[in-house]
Structure 1
Amino acid sequence: MTETVLAVLNQPSRDAAPHDPAADAFTFEAPLDHQVQVQDLGITRGDGVFETITVVDGRPQALEAHLARFGRSAAKLDLPAPDTDAWRRAIEAACAELDPVREAFVKTVLTRGVEGTDRPTGWVYAAASGDSTAARTEGIAVVTLDRGYRHDVERTSPWLLQGAKTLSYGVNMAALREAARRGADDALFLSTDGYVLEGTRANLVMSVGGRLVTPRTDIGILDGTTQADVFRFAEAEGIETAYELITREDLRAADALWLVSSVRQAAPIRSVDGEPQAMDLALTEQINDFLLARES
């Protein structure tokens, strides 16, 4: 049985030399064997980027959107540009190697490599997803946490790398632990000047007055691939969509809220900071049916 797959890229970027000029574009390796050198800057400094891609019935979803964001994140870190063709082939090969399951995921990782080598490290890891049924059907509890930045941080301080999907997830994991201490499932970040940003690993979508609204993407948050497809669903259904600045008070006035992401898809929010939140479970089911049926 093949429950996990690891493909290690020989030349993650055409802008850098291959690790082995005579080797294939990628090789399958044993996921639990040692593969990354301890001096790799992705390990020692979190100096790298990643993507997590939903796989349904062996098909990677929103693949081109993920690859495009992978490249944008690498550019923000001044990493060598990912060789999109090589990564696409490795992703598709990893999906083909997995045992057939309804839902799985693929994680792509690109690091700066071992310090001083000027050769990035890249790999693709695939595995079956956990069961997200409860989150999708019963909802999740979230707490709001101060992110410590103004909403315009991406424009004022680009060196803070807001809007890049980097390996430096220490703050996100600390926020998840804080949410658990408060009896919640996840956290929703707020800017210091009072605007809603994003979840620890997801984008916010809210229903208000018959529209679907999400925070603007120029405020130091990730442009969500799943959120974009939720809006694609909405537009096909004739539902108006918008990118806006959202406040904590706007959350209280919303008809329904979701955190949307790869793997978990659309999870309705049942409470915010302990305050009950109305859920639209019928619309949630429609959204998730659409997301899980995507062809690309």
Structure 2
Amino acid sequence: MTSPRLTLIMLDPETPGGRRADAAAPALPVTDLGVARGDGVFETLLAVDGRPRKLGAHLDRLAASARVMDLDLPERAEWERAVEHGLRAHAESFGAEPGGRLAVRLVATRGDDAAAETRPTCWVQVAPSTLPTREASEPISVLLLDRGYDSGAAERAPWLLLGAKTLSYAVNMAALRHAKKHGADDVVFVTSDGKLLEGPTSTLLMARVAEDGTKTLITPERRTGILPGTTQAAIFELAKAAGWELGYGPLESGALFESDAAWLASSVRLLARIETADGRPIGADPALAERLTDELWEMAESIT
């Protein structure tokens, strides 16, 4: 019997599109390097009404993370078939989800360290999204936390895997626990020399509106070691088409407080407006921040 409303597809060279596995049964040995060392990569994306959003962008980023880690992955078409298999199997087993929103996770570990031949262990899992919809979304508070490296570390030390989406998320989760213990909802990381980075599971977006009404959407630059945001990239495309100006870092942490609105963007949550950072308000005009948020939500919900 499978776990409630969770569908698991294991990628298998002998089974095109992957084989369905019992999500309630053991699937990995304790010697799998993803379990033992966090040695692997992953992606999480949103599916709405059975259709995955930005699957191509997520597969691109999965492949990029794997290259940085010297990890061989199954062919792209196999992942696509496995995602299709997972969504179809989930619908057959559980029917349509309320709101039609599913979180789809793609995972690849380096494999079983005790096996005669170590090869990647890969799977796709499909489950209901537990994150709030636009209607249920509330503004959040964040803490600015030192990520522990300076803005040049990514170029100077590529072995730190900065900018790759690896399974080693212990620091990210510890940062979120720290924030919650101190009364905040989330985190924005900064470098040790004061540059804005990203959230533990999200990309930072900021907006500024000039006196002439020109709107500029801004995100920190990637070379500081942040993960390229698929939702950020899609929203930037739509914002440019809508007449917004676009901007990239480097951005000092003070730039967050100079913005008219700011958000954390991710593939499943989509958007969360930042109301305060370290207890200080973001934006001098709450009504303007709400209007900008409505515009970005319209863009985020139109992403395919």
Same fold per superposition (TM over 0.5):
yes
Offset at 1:134? Answer: 7.3
Partner of 1:17: none
Q: Report SS of the residue matched to 1:197.
A: coil
Relative to 1, partners in 2 of residues 1:134 and 1:54: Cα closer, same or farther, differing over 3 Å? closer
Partner of 2:59: 67
Distance of 1:24 and 1:213 partners within structure 2: 42
Partner of 1:106: 104
Partner of 1:30: 22
What do the CA deviations read for 1:237-283 (whole angstroms, capped 9, x no partner)? 10011212111111111100000001110110010001122352233
Q: Report SS of the residue matched to 2:105.
A: strand
Instruction: Name structure 1 gaps, 5 residues minimum.
Output: 12-20
Stretch of structure 1 that moved more, 281-290 or 271-280: 281-290
Distance of 2:108 and 2:187 partners within structure 1: 26
Offset at 1:10? Answer: 0.7
Offset at 1:25? Answer: 4.4
Offset at 1:51? Answer: 0.0
Relative to 1, partners in 2 of residues 1:135 and 1:176: Cα closer, same or farther, differing over 3 Å? farther
- In the alignment, does 2:297 pair up with 1:288? yes
Partner of 1:248: 253
RMSD: 1.7
Relative to 1, partners in 2 of residues 1:81 and 1:29: Cα closer, same or farther, differing over 3 Å? closer
Partner of 2:277: 272
Distance of 1:135 and 1:257 partners within structure 2: 18
Distance of 1:130 and 1:284 partners within structure 2: 21
Residue identity in the other structure for 1:95: L
Residue identity in the other structure for 1:108: L
Q: Report SS of the residue matched to 1:176.
A: helix
Offset at 1:292? Answer: 2.5
User: Does the Cα contact within 8 Å between 1:136 and 1:267 map onto a contact in 2?
Assistant: no
Offset at 1:92? Answer: 1.5
Residue identity in the other structure for 1:244: G
Q: Report SS of the residue matched to 1:218.
A: helix
Instruction: Name structure 2 gaps, 5 residues minimum.
Output: 210-214
Q: Report SS of the residue matched to 2:64.
A: helix
Partner of 1:16: none
Distance of 1:274 and 1:80 partners within structure 2: 45
Distance of 2:74 and 2:16 partners within structure 1: 17
From 212, 217, 223, give the equivalent of 2:222: 217
Total equivalences in the alignment: 285
Residue identity in the other structure for 2:292: L
Residue identity in the other structure for 2:191: S
Q: Report SS of the residue matched to 1:290.
A: helix
Residue identity in the other structure for 2:300: L
Partner of 2:212: none
Match runs of 1:74-93 below 5 Å:
74-93=66-85
What do the CA deviations read for 1:126-179 (whole angstroms, capped 9, x no partner)? 011014147964211100000000112110000000000000000000000010
The normalised TM-score by structure 1 is 0.92
Partner of 1:49: 41
Partner of 2:163: 163
Residue identity in the other structure for 2:96: P
The normalised TM-score by structure 2 is 0.89
Q: Report SS of the residue matched to 1:80.
A: coil
Q: Report SS of the residue matched to 1:199.
A: coil
